[in-house]
């Protein structure tokens, strides 16, 4: 085996981990893949024999690329101030694709990623690398140009934001029962039944992208979210169950054309958060053929 083939083999072994890092950093499947590919290009141009810890080196490279991408995203004058729902990882209801398991390990649901979207890029990097991948603060400090103590503070601020998020019920069958009840009530036009499956403080985050700003919004409260669901109850016949980031979710596809992907966070038998992406451009990039 030649040196380049050996290096490519080592890189492929690290790829699932690197994609997981980039996805948590960027919330975008395509940008995560770009970051991983850029890391390979940098590795192939480097003197690999001088790299003592290849996995650590690659993690650092992917993290730096992701940080630069986040900063560039924030600096664009057209960057929206409206809520952004990250790219969902969609699988059939029968189970998660093995290639997706690293992406959604440790309950990386849409609700968590929505919170991460609200963090400062440096806070996000510090939290993701330290709390999710146990990277020391000394290394994180070099990436963000801060002291180790400042890097620790960045992660602490992010952690406070994240700790308030709801933890979903672990029973997928119970999650599905609640989500099915939600759509049954919507389909039947039963407003009170719809309200009954929603937590009083339920949050709906909908992202329609630049082409559908009319559906982009954040709503709070059971009756407000139920009223919004009623506006789209004509789509109920086109709801197809799916796993969205490992939790009960749906793909809405009238005549086979994806209209929305919705992820649900179910806690104690109630829906506490709904995260929906209806951006046609981003939906077109998702692999929904498995459904």
Q: Residue 76 is part of a domain; what is its CATH number? A: 1.20.140.160
Asked which of 122, 144, 163 is the last residue of a domain, the reply is 163
> What is the distance, to the nearest Å, from the Cα of residue 105 to the centroid of all Cα atoms in its chain?
11
Burial class (CB in 10 A: 0-12, 13-18, 19+), 181: middle
35 CB neighbour count, 10 Å cutoff: 26
Q: Are 148 and 195 in contact (CB under 8 A)?
A: no
Q: What share of the chain is helix, strand, coil (3-state, %, to 5)?
A: 55, 15, 30
Domain match, 140 and 24 both: yes
SS3 (DSSP) at 201? strand
Which residues does residue 249 pair with via DSSP β-bridges, in sequence order?
242, 263
User: How many domains does the chain divide into?
Assistant: 2
pLDDT tens digit at each of 291 positions of the chain: 567 788 889 899 999 999 999 999 999 999 999 999 999 999 988 887 778 888 999 999 999 999 999 999 887 755 555 678 999 999 998 888 888 888 888 778 889 999 999 999 999 999 999 999 999 999 999 999 999 999 999 999 999 998 877 788 889 999 999 999 999 999 999 999 999 999 999 999 999 998 898 889 999 999 999 999 998 889 989 999 999 999 999 999 998 889 999 999 999 999 999 999 999 999 998 888 656
Domain match, 63 and 80 both: yes
* Helix H or strand E encompassing 203: strand 198-207
Phi, psi of 18 (to 5 degrees): -65, -40
Domain match, 255 and 177 both: yes
Domain match, 246 and 157 both: no
Domain match, 20 and 80 both: yes
Domain match, 123 and 62 both: yes
pLDDT at res. 77: 59
Domain match, 185 and 256 both: yes
Burial class (CB in 10 A: 0-12, 13-18, 19+), 28: buried
Domain that holds residue 155: 3-86+109-163
Q: Of 22, 61, 64, 71, whose CA–CA distance to 39 is shortest?
A: 61
Has residue 96 been placed in a domain? no
* Helix H or strand E encompassing 38: helix 29-44
Domain match, 155 and 189 both: no
255 CB neighbour count, 10 Å cutoff: 6
pTM: 0.91
């Amino acid at each position: 085996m030649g040196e380049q083939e050996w290096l490519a083999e080592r890189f492929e072994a690290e790829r699932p981990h690197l994609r997981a890092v980039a996805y948590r950093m960027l919330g975008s499947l395509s940008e995560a893949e770009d970051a991983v590919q850029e890391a390979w290009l940098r590795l192939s141009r480097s003197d690999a024999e001088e790299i003592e810890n290849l996995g650590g080196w690659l993690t650092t490279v992917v993290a730096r690329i992701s940080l630069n991408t986040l900063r560039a995203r924030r600096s664009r004058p057209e960057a929206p101030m409206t809520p952004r729902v990250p790219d969902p990882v969609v699988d059939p209801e029968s189970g998660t694709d093995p290639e997706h398991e690293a992406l959604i390990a440790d309950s990386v649901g849409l609700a968590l990623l929505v919170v991460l979207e609200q963090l400062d890029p440096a806070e996000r990097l510090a939290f993701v690398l330290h709390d999710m991948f146990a990277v020391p603060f000394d290394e994180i400090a070099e990436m963000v140009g801060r002291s180790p103590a400042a890097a620790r503070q960045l992660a602490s601020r992010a952690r406070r934001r994240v700790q308030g998020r709801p933890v979903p019920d672990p029973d997928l069958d119970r999650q599905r029962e609640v989500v099915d009840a939600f759509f049954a009530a919507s389909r039947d036009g039963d407003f009170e039944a719809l309200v009954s499956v929603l937590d009083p403080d339920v949050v709906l985050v909908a992202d329609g992208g630049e082409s559908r700003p009319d559906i982009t919004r954040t709503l709070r409260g059971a009756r407000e979210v139920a009223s919004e669901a009623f506006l789209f109850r004509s789509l109920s016949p086109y709801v197809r169950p799916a796993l969205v980031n490992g939790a009960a979710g749906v793909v809405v596809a009238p005549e086979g054309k994806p209209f929305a992907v919705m992820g649900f966070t179910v806690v104690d038998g109630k829906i506490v958060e709904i995260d929906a992406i209806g951006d046609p451009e981003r939906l077109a990039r998702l692999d929904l053929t498995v459904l």
